[in-house]
C-alpha cells in the first residue's frame, strides 16, 4: 500500500484546486484534485503534506487539520492510503505547477468540476463539523465507484 497526502487549502470560501492536465500517464488526468502526493522515506503524514504543498504550490503551510484517512482500492491503480488535511493558515505566493493548473474555486462550485466520485464524499465530510476525523474506504472498478464504507458503515 502506498501512502499519500491530500490537502484542501482554503481561503475566502474557496479551495485551491489542481486541474491535472500536464503529466503523462496520470491516473488523475483531466480531474480536479486537492494538493498532495506520495510520501518520501521516513516522512510523517504532516511532513509529507507540507512538502507536497510547497512543491506543488509554492505556499508554506502553517497549522493544518488532519481530517481523515481514505483507503482506495482499485482494480486498475492498486491500493493506497490517502491522509486528508485542510489548511487555511499559509503564506507565500502561488507558483506554476508542473502537474497542472492551480485555481481558487468556490467550495460550492467544486462539485460541478470533473472529480472522482469518492472525492465528492470526502469533500462533504471535511465540510461537516460532525466529522472531526473519518475513515473512508472507496473501491473502484476502472473509474466507477462501486463501494464506499464510512467509519465501518456501508454508504454505497
> How confident is the model at residue 29, as a pLDDT?
83
CA distance 42 to 149: 29
User: Strand, coil or helix: what is 12?
Assistant: coil
The boundaries of the domain holding residue 89 are 2-154
Answer yes or no: are the C-beta atoms of 53 and 9 closer than 8 Å.
yes
Q: How many structural domains is the chain composed of?
A: 1
Question: Phi and psi dihedrals of 145, rounded to 5?
Answer: -75, 120
Mean pLDDT of the chain: 96
| Locus of grid cell 507565500 | 92
Which CATH number is 9's domain given?
A: 3.90.79.10
Fill in the DSSP letter of residue 47: H
Retrieve residue 13's grid coordinates: 470560501
* Mean pLDDT value of segment 52-72: 98
Q: Pick the residue with more confidence: 23 or 74?
A: 74
Amino acid at each position: 500500500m502506498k501512502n499519500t497526502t491530500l490537502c484542501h487549502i482554503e481561503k475566502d470560501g474557496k479551495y485551491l484546486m489542481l486541474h491535472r492536465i500536464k503529466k503523462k500517464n496520470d491516473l488523475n488526468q483531466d480531474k480536479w484534485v486537492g494538493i498532495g502526493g506520495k510520501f518520501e522515506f521516513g516522512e510523517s503524514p504532516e511532513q509529507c503534506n507540507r512538502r507536497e504543498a510547497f512543491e506543488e504550490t509554492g505556499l508554506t503551510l502553517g497549522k493544518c487539520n488532519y481530517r481523515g484517512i481514505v483507503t482506495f482500492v482499485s482494480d486498475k491503480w492498486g491500493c493506497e492510503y490517502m491522509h486528508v488535511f485542510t489548511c487555511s493558515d499559509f503564506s507565500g505566493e502561488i507558483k506554476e505547477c508542473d502537474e497542472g493548473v492551480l485555481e481558487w474555486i468556490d467550495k460550492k462550485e467544486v462539485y460541478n468540476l470533473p472529480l472522482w466520485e469518492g472525492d465528492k464524499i470526502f469533500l462533504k465530510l471535511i465540510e461537516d463539523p460532525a466529522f472531526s476525523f473519518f475513515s473512508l474506504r472507496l473501491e473502484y472498478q476502472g473509474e466507477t465507484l462501486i463501494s464506499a464504507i464510512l467509519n465501518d458503515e456501508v454508504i454505497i
